[in-house]
Amino acid sequence: MSALFQESRLILGTGGANSLTALEEAIVASETELVTVALRRVDAAGPGLLPMLDRLGVRVLPNTAGCYTAADAVKTAHLARDAFETDLIKLEVIGDERTLLPDGIELLRAAETLVGDGFTVLPYTSDDPILARRLADVGCAAVMPAGSPIGSGLGISNPHHIRLIRQSVDVPVVLDAGIGTASDAALAMELGCDAVLIASAITRSDDPAAMATAMRHAVVAGRLAYQAGRIPRRFHALASTSDDGLAQW
């Protein structure tokens, strides 16, 4: 396991929060250690969000949200490195405004460049196992497949592919985007993901702090279930108590 995750396997996104106080309560309740921030949407020097993250002692994971080409994303990543003084970058290269799904070709190009420039690259990718492997092959520190489109709350639309990705790469897999509620986060961890990234499902819920708590428990539960090893699925029942040793009449 890389040093990307210590105690917490839950990464929070900051978009969609109604207020700084609501966001702070959610961050505290989630017990996250890593929070992603869009360079293009915040003033790195401004008041508000960043001083708050600093006070809470969480690490900032800058992202390149809003970029549509490799060149744009590379430039934004360099600006983020200067502004936030970190080599970590969550690389987003969006292909289409309606779905906000990644453009795999531009993404791979940007990832290769940024790895060469010394970044720790965490690419937001689609749930394509081949693309995920290619990203790992060019030196990304993790891969972050979408469960379903950003903000859709549709959960994990192709669990089999997430499992395939887990088996095709040696780097951490972070389920990013699409989580709607706690069971989605638990499923991601049960499929073998190393962490999940959640924004809207928490920040846009009626009670962000309560949902953050639910997500924290779900991630822990899913991880434990994955490690414990689920029983095989069977067609017919199998009594939990066997007949052995029953009295004979």
What residues line the site for other proteins (CB under 8 A)? 18-22, 24, 41-43, 45-49, 52, 206
- What is the C-alpha to C-alpha distance for residues 48 and 42, in angstroms, rounded to an integer? 9
Pull the structure tokens for residue 137.
């092959």
CB of 28 to other proteins, least distance (A): 13
Distance from the first to the final alpha carbon of the chain:
56
Rounded CA separation 78/223 (Å)? 34
Element (H, E) at 107: helix 104-116
Minimum distance from residue 152 beta carbon to other proteins (Å): 9
CB of 180 to other proteins, least distance (A): 12
Contact 105, 68 (CB under 8 A): no
Q: Token pair of 140, please? A: 């990304």
Cβ proximity of 87 and 81 under 8 Å: yes
Query: Which residue, chain included where needed, has tokens 């196992």?
Result: 129
Give the active site residues: 90
Shortest spacing between CB 192 and other proteins, in angstroms = 31
Encoded tokens for 63: 């992202």
Nearer to other proteins, 20 or 83 (CB): 20
